[in-house]
Copies of this chain bind each other. A is one copy, B any other.
Amino acid sequence: MVTIREVAKESGFSSTTVSIVLNNAPLSRYIPTATKKRIERAAKKLGYRPNLFARSLRSKRSHTVGVMVFDMTDPYCTLILRGIENSLYQASYLPILTDVHNERSRFERYLEMLLDRRVEALIVLANWLFVDIDVLADLEKSSIPTTMIGRELQTDSISSVTVDNEAGAHAALEHLHSLGHREIGFIRGPKTLADSAPRWRGIRSFAKAAGLELDPRLILDLPESRDPISSFESGYKLTEELIKQKRPFTALLAFDDMTAFGAIRALAKAGLRVPEHCSVIGFDDVAASSLYTPPLTTVRQPMEAMGTMAVGIAVEGINAVLEKRKVAAVHRKMTPELVVRESTRSLL
Cross-interface CB contact of A97 among B60, B62, B79, B97, cutoff 8 Å: B97
A23 to chain B, nearest CB (A): 14
- Give the residues from 251 to 280 in chain A that come closer than 8 angstroms, CB to CB, to chain B: 258, 261-262, 264-265, 268
Selecting from A49-57, A151-159, A324-332, the interface stretch reads: A49-57
- Kindly report how many copies of this chain are found in the complex they form together: 2
Cross-interface CB contact of A52 among B95, B117, B264, B291, cutoff 8 Å: B117
Residues from chain B with a CB closer than 8 A to the CB of A94 are 96, 98, 113-114, 117
Selecting from A28-36, A70-78, A173-181, A201-209, the interface stretch reads: A70-78
A118 to B56: give the CA distance in the assembly, Å.
13
Q: Does A40 contact B (CB under 8 A)?
A: no
Q: Does A13 contact B (CB under 8 A)?
A: no
In the complex, the answer to whether B72 meets A85 with C-beta atoms within 8 Å is: yes
Cross-interface CB contact of A293 among B81, B86, B110, B292, cutoff 8 Å: B292
CB contact under 8 A between A116 and B73, given known A264-B293, A291-B232: no
Chain A: interface residue total (CB-CB under 8 A): 51
A282-294 interface code vs B (CB 8 A; 1 in, 0 out):
0000011001111
Q: Does A82 contact B (CB under 8 A)?
A: yes
In the complex, the answer to whether A116 meets B82 with C-beta atoms within 8 Å is: no
Q: Specify the chain B residue showing the minimal Cβ separation from A106.
A: B89
In the complex, the answer to whether A57 meets B49 with C-beta atoms within 8 Å is: no
Q: Does A99 contact B (CB under 8 A)?
A: yes
A11 to B333: give the CA distance in the assembly, Å.
50
A79 to B57: give the CA distance in the assembly, Å.
36
Residues from chain B with a CB closer than 8 A to the CB of A293 are 261, 264-265, 268, 292-293
Residues from chain B with a CB closer than 8 A to the CB of A50 are 116
- Give the residues from 152 to 173 in chain A that come closer than 8 angstroms, CB to CB, to chain B: none
A145 to chain B, nearest CB (A): 17
A35 to B344: give the CA distance in the assembly, Å.
73
In the complex, the answer to whether B287 meets A75 with C-beta atoms within 8 Å is: yes
Cross-interface CB contact of A118 among B52, B96, B106, B287, cutoff 8 Å: B52
A72 to chain B, nearest CB (A): 5
In the complex, the answer to whether B73 meets A79 with C-beta atoms within 8 Å is: yes
A residues at B contact (CB < 8 Å): 49-54, 56-57, 60, 62, 64, 67, 72-73, 75, 78-79, 81-82, 85-86, 89, 94-99, 101, 106, 110, 113-118, 232, 258, 261-262, 264-265, 268, 287-288, 291-295
